[in-house]
Amino acid sequence: MDHIAITKAPSTRIHEVDWKNLGFGVYFSDHIFVADYRDGAWEDLRIIPYGPMSVEPSMCTIHYGQSIFEGLKAFRTKSGGVNIFRPYKNAKRLNYSAEMLCIPAFDETLLVAAIQQLVALDQEWIPRERGHSLYIRPVVFGTDNFLGVRASQGYRLIVMTSPVASYYAEGINPVRILVDTTHVRAVRGGLGSAKTAANYAASIHAGKTAKEAGFAQVLFLDGVSREIVEEVGTMNIMFLIDGELITPALSQGSILAGVTRDSALALVRSWGITVTERPLSIDEVVAAHTAGTLQEVFGTGTAAVISPVGELVYNGESMPIHGGTIGPLAQRLYDTITGIQFGELEDPYEWNVHVQLESGVVA
């Protein structure tokens, strides 16, 4: 493995954490992993204390958003071990996003090894409460100080970690979602399938408007016909209609290939339930609701895990789902995915990558 130089923080900030009110993305662990891309190569791999970073006012990314990121999680198991859930899948997706944004790839095995080392070093920051986890956020951005619009020549990769509770205040309780007929997250041929800042910037106005109206988030429709269901922005979306699990297909190129989406689909298929990935229109959802065959709706995401939707509102019409309570499929998925993550259930697909804690160093 390429050498990672380690500079330890002189003291820890862990006493600042309010473990009973973790929220999401509020606290940041003592160390970060950093690598810089210069003259065509990633170099200067290091773990250093978390802290302010200086950038010049002309740094291209703060103007043009050439940045990509990932989200994955580490879990403390009852037996004292630590699992990272499907990190190779995130490393691969980071490189997919990198290609979309003209950012140089980073070795996937090396990234996972660096994450293991970082998590081992800051292992005390992994929450002890069941359901809470250490969120791992890799981010890569252009570093050139230049105002022309082109791909940067220099880049920085940072991995930071953050102890977190549920993403939504509702936790595993159902959320209210507004079907957005005004804003669009991404269009075919755009950046929708990349995990890049632009997609989240595009969701901020919609999310704010929805929150002010009492919704947790919006459900985006496609940007052309405004008829096809896409994603929530912070999670993918799934519909159980008449015993069949239907979720938007990735082939449109405008939604994110979620790791939890993939995990949920694999599990549901293994349970003998029909899974269909295809374009799904909002009219079809409304028709299923009217016919009484819309059994469950839920979101999937690393931050959100499984988030049941208790109500969808479209064009002013309310569609209560499963009586506003979590349905059995969403509950089974939540229990199974978190059971695997926390090492309580068998891991048939070998999704967990274990972190070696004794030495704090992974070979």
Give the separation between CA 112 and CA 19, rounded to whole angstroms: 27
Q: How far is the CB of 73 from ligand COI (least distance, A)?
A: 8
Give the N- to C-terminal CA distance of the chain in Å, as an integer: 7
Distances (CA, A) of 147 to 57, 101, 237: 10, 17, 38
Q: How far is the CB of 152 from ligand COI (least distance, A)?
A: 22
Between 171 and 243, name the residue whose CB sits nearer to ligand COI.
Answer: 171
Amino acid letter, residue 174: P
Please choose, out of 15-23, 35-43, 300-308, 324-332, the segment that lies near ligand COI by the rule CB under 6 A.
300-308
Between 139 and 228, name the residue whose CB sits nearer to ligand COI.
Answer: 139
Binding residues among 211-270 for ligand COI as defined by CB under 6 A? 234
Contact between 329 and 296 under an 8 Å Cβ cutoff? The reply is yes
Q: How far is the CB of 149 from ligand COI (least distance, A)?
A: 25
Please choose, out of 40-48, 239-247, 296-304, 324-332, the segment that lies near ligand COI by the rule CB under 6 A.
296-304
Contact between 108 and 95 under an 8 Å Cβ cutoff? The reply is yes
Binding residues among 177-216 for ligand COI as defined by CB under 6 A? 200
Q: How far is the CB of 69 from ligand COI (least distance, A)?
A: 7
Task: Find, among 204, 274, 194, the residue nearest to 240 by Cα.
Answer: 274
Please choose, out of 8-16, 181-189, 277-285, 301-309, the segment that lies near ligand COI by the rule CB under 6 A.
301-309
Contact between 6 and 46 under an 8 Å Cβ cutoff? The reply is yes
Angle at 72 between CA 67 and CA 75, to 5 degrees: 155
Residue 301 in tokens: 């995401």
Between 116 and 234, name the residue whose CB sits nearer to ligand COI.
Answer: 234
Instruction: Provide the sign of the torsion angle of the four alpha carbons 219, 100, 278, 339, taken in this order.
Output: negative
Binds ligand COI (CB under 6 A): choice among 197, 303, 309, 353: 303
Tokens 């009586």 map to which residue? 323
Q: Please give the residue whose beta carbon sits closest to ligand COI in the complex.
A: 71
DSSP 14: G
Length of the chain equals 363
Q: How far is the CB of 145 from ligand COI (least distance, A)?
A: 27
Q: How far is the CB of 195 from ligand COI (least distance, A)?
A: 7
- φ, ψ at 236 (rounded to 5°): -80, 165
Binds ligand COI (CB under 6 A): choice among 104, 223, 299, 301: 301
Q: What is the CA radius of gyration of the chain?
A: 21
Give the separation between CA 73 and CA 309, rounded to whole angstroms: 23
Number of H helices, E strands in the chain: 7, 17
Q: How far is the CB of 201 from ligand COI (least distance, A)?
A: 11
Burial of 7: CB neighbours in 10 Å, binned 0-12, 13-18, 19+: exposed
Please choose, out of 26-34, 44-52, 183-191, 298-306, the segment that lies near ligand COI by the rule CB under 6 A.
298-306
Between 222 and 231, name the residue whose CB sits nearer to ligand COI.
Answer: 231
Binding mask 108-147 for ligand COI (x = CB under 6 A): ----------------------------------------
Residue 71 engages ligand COI in binding (rule: CB under 6 A): yes
Between 116 and 236, name the residue whose CB sits nearer to ligand COI.
Answer: 236
| Contact footprint for ligand COI (CB under 6 A) | 71, 200, 234, 301-303
